[in-house]
Amino acid sequence: ELCKGINGLDKIILREVRGSSAEVYLFGGQVTSWKNDHGEELLFLSSKAVFKPPKPIRGGIPICFPQFGSHGTLEQHGFARNKFWSIDTDPPPFPTNSSSKVFIDLILKPSDEDFKLWPHSYEFRLRVALGPGGDLMLTSRIRNTSTDGKPFTFTFAYHTYLSVSDISEVRVEGLETIDYLDNLRERERSTEQGDAITFEGEVDKVYVSTPTKIAILDHEKKRTFVLRKDGLPDAVVWNPWDRKAKAIPDLGDEDYKHMLCVEAAAVEKPITLKPGEEWKGRQELSAVPSSYCSGQ
Ligand code: BG6
């Protein structure tokens, strides 16, 4: 269902028969809402989010491509999150063994302007799908479509803002003992200690070569998010905390308490595609009552 969102921007609403839903803006190819079958919002959207292109939308799941962060020649997190994507009205079907029927395919290709910034021909196909249990599945396929024989290299992240009731009560499992690059210390490499990750201040880390499953436990809401990823070896964890939050104009001063970014990513080892080659990166999110997760 294509309709008008905030400021008249086009958005697509996906609805699964059991009641879960997701919203995707063509601007940024960005998921801004994901609700479970009780209508509860599972993604964080800033109370001060501005929907004014080309400013990226603060919240949901911005796509960082072709550059994650500020390491590189492009603007922070690349340009995909501030471009208008188009809908593929005749997308390739899902594999027959897949249970998911509710999906949309968005396409990003470089305009002449983009080409000046990053002189590479590509087609980026982003599939946003809802599973029967309300799972939110994002699949990116990026193909080098150049005819000049030139490879290109990129880094990538699904910059996922999860909605949490109180950041001080959140635990992340699956990243303990994993090496990380600390963005707050010029990407210095360290190893995570301890049982599970908890939050008491600003965090901005790229965990490298992580397990494919990460759990985010929200005790107050009695909810666990499970993030599964494929083709994306790394995982970014970010919370700006109070001081940094105040310096971000489109983030409310108290918003940091109710958000946590956990992002399937490819950062440490950039991906290179030769002409004709395609890369695929998937992130699957599910949200389950915590009691169902114990012992898993
Ligand atoms: C995180 C980065 O993924 O995104 C942080 O690790 C950055 O360093 C944050 O501050 C937000 O970036 P932006 O450009 O959306 O304000």
Catalytic residue among 159, 202, 254, 284: 159
Sign of CA dihedral 241, 289, 103, 95: positive
Kindly provide the ipTM of the predicted complex, given to two decimals.
0.96
Q: Which of 16, 23, 120, 263 is catalytic?
A: 263
Place of tokens 């027959």: 96
Q: Are strands 203-207 and 188-191 parallel, antiparallel or unpaired?
A: unpaired
Angle among Cα 86, 1, 4 to the nearest 5 degrees reads 70
Q: What pLDDT digit, counting tens, does each position of 207-263 carry?
A: 999 999 999 999 888 899 999 999 999 999 999 999 999 999 999 999 999 999 999
In angstroms, what is the span from residue 37 Cα to ligand 1's centroid? Answer: 30
pLDDT for res 217: 97
What is the distance, to the nearest Å, from the Cα of residue 169 to the centroid of all Cα atoms in its chain? 22
183 alpha carbon – ligand 1 mean position (Å): 10
CATH of the domain at 225: 2.70.98.10
**Terminal CA-to-CA distance of the chain, rounded, Å?**
36
- 120 in catalytic set: no
Given this model, what pLDDT does residue 291 score?
Answer: 66
**What is the number of domains present in the chain?**
1
The domain in which residue 194 lies consists of 2-292
Atom of ligand 1 nearest to the CA of 159: 3
- Binding site listing for substrate: 58, 76, 81
Q: What pLDDT does residue 194 have? A: 79
Report CA-CA distances (Å) from 122 to 31, 37, 42, 65.
22, 36, 32, 12
Confidence at residue 296, expressed as pLDDT on a 0 to 100 scale: 44
CA of 52 to the centre of ligand 1 (A): 19
Ligand 1 test: best mutation among 45, 82, 204, most atoms within 8 Å of CB?
204
- Strand 170-173 and strand 223-230: the pairing is unpaired
Whole-angstrom distance, CA of residue 78 vs CA of residue 122: 14
**pLDDT at res. 220:** 84
Q: Which residues of the chain have pLDDT under 50?
A: 294-296
Q: Which residues are annotated as a binding site?
A: 58, 76, 81
Choosing from 50, 55, 238 the residue with most ligand 1 atoms within 8 A of its CB, the one to mutate for a pocket test is: 238
Contact of 218 with 170, CB cutoff 8 Å: yes
